[in-house]
Amino acid sequence: MTKAKQPPAPAPAAPAPAAAAAKLSETNRLKAERLKDMLETKYSKQREDTEEMSRRRAELEEQMQGMNLNEAQKKKYRDELGKLEAQSRREGMRRLTTDDFTPLSIIGRGAFGEVRLVRKNDSGEVFALKSMTKEAMVHKNQVGHVQAERDVLASADNNWIVGLQFSFQDDINLYMVMEFLPGGDLMSLLMKEDTFPEGATRQYMAEMIQAVACVHGLGYVHRDLKPDNILLDWQGHLKLTDLGLSKKVEIDAGYFGATPEDLNVNAAAARLDTRPLPDRKATHVRGQTNLPRDRKLAYSTVGTPDYIAPEVLSQKGYGPECDWWSLGVIMYECLVGYTPFYADDPVMTCRKILRWQQFFDVPDHISRALSTSCMDFLLSFVCNADSRLGRTSMDEIRSHPWFAGLDWGALRAAPAPYKPDRADQIGGLLEQIRTLDARDGRMAAAVNQLTSNFDDFEEEDQSRWGGQKKVGRRDKDNDFVGYTFRRAAPGARGAVATSLFSAEGAAKAGGA
């Protein structure tokens, strides 16, 4: 019997396409750069700590010179300083976990994680804790974005960007512990008020401009400015949050560069945040090639469709001026009550933006009610990138006639246009939550009042909070090297010496 002919052996697998190999190479390069940055930061911090320790010891010796102490007393002071230094080092080295916080309420939820109101167990301080699932970050190619957000928040130390206090990780999640802003977001305020008068819009625009200037000053483009990402503190002043799409870039002649990507409008729309905008009268809107790349410009198409700049949708590159377009769209929404390029289909929104001259229109009854300088400022942001205000310097924006007489250095000292609900009670509520036992019946009521400006969310996935199990090949130090961060408390470096020379410290060292 003749043996049946066997099929030929399968050919060896073809090598990976050049594009895939290049992507892998780029991923490894970014990881190597991340590790390098982490080590540089670590050893720079160690040098700073060593220099600070030497300074404190020299300060101690100088102060003891005028205290008429004998050698035994001086030794006690030196020993006490050593103990305080060691205690400070131990506290700085201790890794945070979710066990250090008590979860109180879910105040936000997105595609990759959620935000909870939490209380730090040792101090009682109230924070907003953002958790993000590592597997989702990796699967959706969000590793670079989450690292960028952590980096810019860690770099920021000002009144215009939400403050990051800690970041840490476990085997499942990434965590960012940020200041809690009880006023909710600007979108919620717009939902409530529908539109703002020109004076209120001017104040908010000035604050947003200061916030964006801080982001640019740190060497980042935000790229996702929208009312949802602008939070209000308890006095009603603004701060930027959600910098997950921000890009670290080099500053050169007012422009920032990033990695090029080839995208057309349909592919771009598929990558954008296409969740529908709230129904806020968003109905009556008028009229319903491969080019050489400039490495100084960015090309990634990111952002939310309604607020995205036309140059971001094109393939010609863009710089930080794309953020000013987004602020122009937000200004329009504050004054008119809806966005200028709204469409049910995100692809149509993108097409409208690319042909913005055809579709952009301020209703007559709105334009007649606005000052000439207000209209001029709006049109100086919603325009072509090469003529947009702020493309060369911040002075262009601050010196515009619409802001004549405005004290840019006192924006946060001036009364905000709107104060959050229960603003006068917030201090008392925070103190209650800081001190009450978690099982106290008054705790739930206090939390509900404190979070009244946020939507209600049901508990869905407890693993997002404090998950400790292993997750296969995902090692926490692989994709997220250098993620951990701890912000030094204000005046912390002087606290050791101050406590040493307190009455208690003097008693311990001098035997008084």
What amino acid occupies position 318? Y
Q: Collapse the DSSP code of 201 into the 3-class scheme (helix H, G, I; strand E, B; otherwise coil) and give the result.
A: helix
130 labeled part of a ligand binding site: yes
d(Cα 508, Cα 77) in Å, to the nearest integer? 8
Task: Find the angle CA(56)-CA(58)-CA(62) to the nearest 5 degrees.
Answer: 115
Q: Collapse the DSSP code of 180 into the 3-class scheme (helix H, G, I; strand E, B; otherwise coil) and give the result.
A: coil
In 3D, which of 263, 288, 281 has the Cα closest to residue 345? 288
Q: Which residues pair with 115 in a beta bridge?
A: 108, 130
Cβ atoms of 232 and 208 within 8 Å: the answer is: no
Name the CA radius of gyration of the chain, rounded. Answer: 27
Q: Which residues are catalytic?
A: 224
Provide CB contacts within 8 A for 24, sequence distance 6+: 16
Interhelix angle 321-336/372-381, nearest 10 degrees = 140
Cβ atoms of 427 and 84 within 8 Å: the answer is: no
Q: Which residues pair with 179 in a beta bridge?
A: 127
DSSP 348-366: HHHHHHHTHHHH----HHH
Q: How far is CA 403 from the centre of its chain?
A: 27
Task: Work out the number of other CB atoms within 10 angstroms of the CB of residue 486.
Answer: 18
Task: Work out the number of other CB atoms within 10 angstroms of the CB of residue 499.
Answer: 14
In 3D, which of 311, 317, 322 has the Cα closest to residue 245? 322
Q: Collapse the DSSP code of 142 into the 3-class scheme (helix H, G, I; strand E, B; otherwise coil) and give the result.
A: coil
d(Cα 307, Cα 224) in Å, to the nearest integer? 8
Q: What is the largest CA-CA distance in the chain?
A: 112
Task: Work out the number of other CB atoms within 10 angstroms of the CB of residue 280.
Answer: 16
Task: Work out the number of other CB atoms within 10 angstroms of the CB of residue 59.
Answer: 15
In 3D, which of 391, 393, 365, 368 has the Cα closest to residue 380? 391
Q: Collapse the DSSP code of 485 into the 3-class scheme (helix H, G, I; strand E, B; otherwise coil) and give the result.
A: strand
Structure tokens at 305: 């469709």
d(Cα 400, Cα 203) in Å, to the nearest integer? 14
Cβ atoms of 179 and 163 within 8 Å: the answer is: yes
Known binding residues for ATP are 130
Known binding residues are 130
